[in-house]
C-alpha cells in the first residue's frame, strides 16, 4: 500500500514538474514573440533607441526575382562579397580636375558595412518586391521635369561626354534659354544647373532632405522613442545629421483641417493590441517622397515590439496620383543597450547652410569673369549632378 502511495505521489510530482516546465517554456516563448513590457500607465512600451543592423534594398533586385528571403549560406557569401568590394572613395577621377575633387569624401563616411539582411527587399507588398507602376499623370510630370533638368545640362561636358546625369540628354554646347525658366514645381528633388538662389541647389544641399517615411540609409538609421500619456515622440537621426522630432498624439482626436499642410504630415496614433498604429495625412505639396509631392501622400504605420530587443515596423504607402496601387515596406529595428543610451542630436548637416553665401557669391564671380572675357560661360559648367568619375551603378545602389 505504501509503495503504491509513493508511486502515485511520484507521478503527481512528475506531472507538476512537467506542467511547470511547460508553463515556463510557454512564458519564454511569449517573451520571444513580444516583450510584454508596459509603461507605468499601462500602454505597450516601445521606448528606447532603435536602429538598423542589416542592409536591405528597398526594391528587390531582378536577379532575386520570386525570392523573398536568403538562406544562411547565401547570407554568408553575400557578406564576404560586400566586405571585399572596394568603396567609391578609394577610386580617383583624373587628378587636378573637378571630377576628382567631387569624390573628395573618404568612403568610410558614406558606405556603412552592415551585414546583408535576410529579406531581399524592404517592400513586402506587392509580392514582387517592386514599387508599383507610376500613374499616367505622374509619368507625364516626371518626363517634363526630366526635360527641364536636361535642358540645363546640354551645354556642359556631362552631356558632351555622356557622363552620369545626362542619360537621354543631348549636347548643344550652347546654354539653353530654359535655364532662366521658373521651376515647374517646388524644387524638392529637382536640382538645376544654376545658382540664382538657395533653392537652385535642391533640398539635399540645404540639409532638408529628411523624408517621411524614413527607412534609414548607409549614413543613418536610428530612432529614439519616448512615451507619455497621450503622446508618443520619435527622434529621427537621418541623413548627414539631419535629425528631427516627431510627436504623435494618442488622444483619439481628428486630423488637422485639410487646409493645414505639414512637411512631415499630420500623425494620429492609437493602439491595436500591442501595436502602435499611426495614420499620417496632410503632407505639404513641398514634400517629395519618391515623386509623391502633390500633397496626396497617405501612410498607415504599424510599430510592434516583436521581442524585448526588436521592433517590427511596417508602413503602407498610398498616393493615387502617383502610384497605381498602395505598397508596403517592412523593417526590423534592433534596440541599443540601455547602458549605452547614445544618440547624438547634433545638427551636423550645416555645411550647406553656412556655405550658401559662398555658392551664390561664387556664381556671381563666374558671371562677372565671363562678362569681362576672363572665363567660360557659367551655363557650360555643371553644378547640378554628381560628376565623380569613380561612381558606378553599384556604388549608387549602396547609397540608396
User: Is residue 58 domain-resident?
Assistant: no
User: Is residue 45 domain-resident?
Assistant: no
Percent of the chain predicted with pLDDT > 70: 77
pLDDT tier, 143 (very low <50, low <70, confident <90, very high otherwise): very high
Cα separation, 153 vs 138, whole angstroms: 23
Cα separation, 136 vs 291, whole angstroms: 13
pLDDT tens for each residue of 243-295:
889 999 999 999 999 999 999 999 999 999 999 999 999 999 888 899 898 88
Average pLDDT value for the chain:
82
User: Is residue 297 domain-resident?
Assistant: no
Cα separation, 94 vs 106, whole angstroms: 16
Instruction: Please provide residue 19's backbone torsions phi and psi, each rounded to the nearest 5 degrees.
Output: -65, -45
User: Is residue 245 domain-resident?
Assistant: no
Are the C-beta atoms of residues 315 and 299 closer than 8 Å to each other?
A: yes
Percent of the chain predicted with pLDDT > 90: 53
Residues pairing with 55 in the sheet: 116
Show Cβ contacts of residue 100 under 8 Å, excluding neighbours closer than 6 positions. 92, 93, 94, 388, 389
pLDDT tier, 116 (very low <50, low <70, confident <90, very high otherwise): very high
pLDDT value, residue 185: 84
Beta-carbon neighbour count of residue 156 at 10 Å?
A: 26
Are the C-beta atoms of residues 147 and 163 closer than 8 Å to each other?
A: no
Task: Please give the residue range of the domain that contains residue 108.
Answer: 88-116+136-206+353-399
What cell was used for 72? 544562411
pLDDT value, residue 86: 59
- Least confident residue range of 345-349, 353-357, 368-372, 395-399: 395-399
Are the C-beta atoms of residues 200 and 188 closer than 8 Å to each other?
A: no
User: Is residue 362 domain-resident?
Assistant: yes
User: Is residue 152 domain-resident?
Assistant: yes
Decide if pLDDT at 119 tops 80.
yes
Instruction: Say how many domains are in the chain.
Output: 1
User: Is residue 189 domain-resident?
Assistant: yes
User: Is residue 246 domain-resident?
Assistant: no
pLDDT value, residue 174: 94
Amino acid at each position: 500500500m505504501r509503495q503504491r502511495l509513493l508511486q502515485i505521489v511520484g507521478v503527481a510530482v512528475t506531472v507538476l514538474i512537467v506542467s511547470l516546465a511547460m508553463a515556463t517554456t510557454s512564458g519564454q516563448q511569449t517573451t520571444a514573440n513580444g516583450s510584454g513590457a508596459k509603461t507605468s500607465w499601462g500602454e505597450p512600451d516601445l521606448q528606447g533607441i532603435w536602429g538598423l543592423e542589416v542592409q536591405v534594398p528597398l526594391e528587390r533586385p531582378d536577379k532575386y526575382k520570386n525570392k523573398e528571403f536568403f538562406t544562411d549560406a547565401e547570407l554568408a557569401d553575400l557578406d564576404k562579397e560586400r566586405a571585399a568590394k572596394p568603396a567609391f572613395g578609394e577610386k580617383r577621377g583624373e587628378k587636378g580636375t573637378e571630377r576628382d575633387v567631387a569624390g573628395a569624401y573618404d568612403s568610410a563616411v558614406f558606405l556603412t558595412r552592415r551585414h546583408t539582411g535576410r529579406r531581399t527587399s524592404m517592400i513586402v507588398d506587392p509580392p514582387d518586391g517592386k514599387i508599383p507602376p507610376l500613374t499616367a499623370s505622374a509619368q507625364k510630370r516626371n518626363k517634363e521635369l526630366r526635360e527641364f533638368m536636361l535642358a540645363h545640362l546640354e551645354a556642359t561636358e556631362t552631356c558632351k561626354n555622356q557622363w552620369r546625369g545626362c542619360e537621354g540628354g543631348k549636347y548643344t554646347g550652347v546654354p539653353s534659354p530654359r535655364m532662366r525658366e521658373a521651376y515647374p514645381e517646388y524644387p524638392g528633388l529637382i536640382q538645376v544647373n544654376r545658382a540664382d538662389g538657395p533653392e537652385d541647389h535642391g533640398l539635399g544641399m540645404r540639409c532638408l532632405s529628411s523624408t517621411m517615411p524614413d527607412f534609414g540609409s548607409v549614413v543613418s538609421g536610428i530612432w529614439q522613442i519616448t512615451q507619455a500619456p497621450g503622446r508618443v515622440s520619435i527622434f529621427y537621426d537621418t541623413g548627414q545629421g539631419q535629425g528631427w522630432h516627431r510627436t504623435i498624439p494618442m488622444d483619439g482626436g481628428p486630423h488637422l483641417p485639410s487646409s493645414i499642410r505639414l512637411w512631415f504630415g499630420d500623425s494620429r496614433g492609437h493602439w491595436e493590441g500591442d501595436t502602435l498604429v499611426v495614420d499620417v495625412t496632410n503632407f505639404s505639396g513641398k514634400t517629395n517622397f519618391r515623386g509623391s509631392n502633390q500633397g496626396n501622400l497617405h501612410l498607415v504605420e504599424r510599430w510592434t515590439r516583436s521581442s524585448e530587443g526588436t521592433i517590427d515596423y511596417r508602413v503602407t504607402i498610398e498616393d493615387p496620383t502617383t502610384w497605381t496601387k498602395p505598397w508596403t515596406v517592412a523593417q526590423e529595428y534592433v534596440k541599443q543597450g540601455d547602458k549605452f543610451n547614445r544618440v547624438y542630436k547634433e545638427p551636423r548637416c550645416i555645411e550647406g547652410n553656412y556655405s550658401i553665401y559662398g555658392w551664390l557669391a561664387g556664381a556671381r564671380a563666374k558671371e562677372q569673369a565671363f562678362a569681362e572675357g576672363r572665363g567660360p560661360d557659367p551655363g557650360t559648367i555643371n553644378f547640378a549632378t554628381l560628376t565623380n568619375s569613380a561612381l558606378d551603378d553599384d556604388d549608387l545602389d549602396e547609397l540608396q
